[in-house]
């Protein structure tokens, strides 16, 4: 262990065109790291074990950041349970196993706060893992990510690999998914309020009661946490990444409505599920290691809305894969 990042490191970013992967890539480029390795999904199918193994043998990465995954909100998880379970298992298993086989110096595995039980004590600490039932609406994705966390833990224990799992809270920012069928709550709200404003401030329908509490982290902050982790040997295998602060969904809607400038009504559809009542991360473990977030929610949403307006023509046609 104790391999530390240096400017000449060969760094493979899996999922470099996604929200998290692209943020990590931007961060590393800003810091002067120019030996970054990436492949699009058409160039390398991460679900293909042999293709991934061949890629690792040819490219010989020293550092791996696994930000590749099939992701989506409540609706997407409910409609595509098989894809969310099986494809995510394939992707992460192939990457982590190939990294081990090629003796990669350091690996960061990125997951999600949904790995923790639906009714975990708040705020959720890393010790809450596997202490209770999961939220049913995203259990398929969560089970895959839990498996990845345990693979990292197993490789640290058995082979002393310097591999670490980072579990971010709800993320948002540039390159987020704004497709209304598959997006998470914050980008979906930005899209809905913007579209409604464009239609003469039409009413905006939102799911649930608005009562659940959620924590949000700008993706540039999680990229900074990845960079922090790459530059030191971490004591633990698993770290939560978040702000340690949450907000009611109803208050989030009002904040986004104000930032977007929508003047119409909000119609809450209480026949739709709320999901987990509260998901607040205990971020003390990573804070004790020396990292804290820097982008406050209102500032982050304003930045994200500006990005959305600049790119809306190219993102409005995104469709869910079958």
* Binding site members for NADP(+): 15-21, 110-113, 145, 168-171, 184
Burial of 171 (0-12, 13-18, 19+ CB in 10 A): buried
Q: List the end-to-end C-alpha distance of the chain, in Å, as a whole number.
A: 41
Measured in whole angstroms, how far is the alpha carbon of residue 168 from the centre of its chain? 6
Contact yes or no for 38/65 (Cβ under 8 A)? no
Q: Residue 145 corresponds to which tokens in the numbers above?
A: 């990510």
Query: What is the C-alpha separation between 313 and 317, in angstroms, rounded?
Result: 8
- Sign of the C-alpha dihedral computed for residues 134, 246, 228 and 88 taken in this order: positive
For residue 311, the SS3 value is helix
Give me the residue label for tokens 């705020």: 123
Q: Which of 74, 2, 14, 64 is nearest to 38 (CA)?
A: 14
Verify whether residue 12 is a known catalytic residue.
no
Query: What is the C-alpha separation between 312 and 240, in angstroms, rounded?
Result: 31
Q: Residue 183 corresponds to which tokens in the numbers above?
A: 């997006």
* Residues 126, 132, 134: CA angle, nearest 5 degrees: 90
- Sign of the C-alpha dihedral computed for residues 14, 292, 244 and 120 taken in this order: positive
Binding-site residues from annotation for substrate: 192, 207, 214, 274
Binding-site residues from annotation: 15-21, 110-113, 145, 168-171, 184, 192, 207, 214, 274
The residue annotated as part of the active site, out of 141, 172, 239, 305, is 141
Phi, psi at 230, each rounded to 5°:
-65, -25
Query: What is the C-alpha separation between 104 and 62, in angstroms, rounded?
Result: 5
Q: How many residues does the chain have?
A: 322
> Which residues are known to be catalytic?
141
């Amino acid at each position: 262990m104790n391999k530390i990042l240096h400017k000449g490191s060969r760094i493979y970013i899996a999922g470099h065109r996604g929200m998290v992967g692209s943020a990590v890539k931007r961060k590393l480029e800003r810091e002067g790291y120019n030996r970054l390795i990436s492949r699009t999904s058409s160039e390398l199918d991460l679900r293909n074990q042999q293709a991934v193994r061949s890629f690792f043998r040819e490219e010989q990465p020293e550092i791996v950041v696994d930000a590749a995954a099939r992701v989506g909100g409540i609706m997407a998880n409910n409609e595509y349970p098989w894809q969310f379970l099986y494809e995510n298992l394939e992707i992460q298993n192939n990457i982590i196993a190939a990294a081990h086989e090629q003796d990669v110096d350091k690996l960061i595995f990125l997951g999600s706060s949904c790995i923790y039980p639906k009714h975990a004590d708040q705020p959720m600490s890393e010790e809450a893992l596997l202490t209770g039932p999961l939220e049913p609406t995203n259990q398929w994705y969560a089970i895959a990510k839990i498996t990845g966390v345990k693979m990292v833990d197993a490789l640290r224990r058995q082979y002393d690999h310097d591999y670490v799992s980072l579990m971010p809270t709800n993320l948002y920012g540039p390159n987020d998914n704004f497709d209304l069928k598959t997006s998470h709550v914050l980008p979906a709200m930005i899209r809905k309020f913007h579209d409604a404003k464009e239609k003469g401030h039409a009413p905006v329908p939102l799911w649930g009661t608005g009562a659940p509490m959620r924590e949000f982290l700008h993706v540039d902050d999680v990229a900074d946490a990845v960079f922090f982790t790459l530059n030191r040997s971490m004591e633990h295998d698993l770290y939560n990444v978040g702000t340690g602060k949450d907000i009611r969904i109803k208050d989030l809607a009002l904040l986004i409505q104000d930032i977007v400038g929508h003047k119409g009504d909000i119609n809450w559809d209480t026949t739709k599920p709320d999901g987990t009542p509260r998901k607040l991360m205990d971020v003390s473990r990573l804070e004790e290691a020396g990292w804290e977030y820097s982008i406050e929610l209102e500032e982050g949403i304003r930045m994200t809305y500006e990005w959305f307006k600049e790119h809306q023509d190219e993102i409005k046609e995104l469709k869910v894969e079958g």
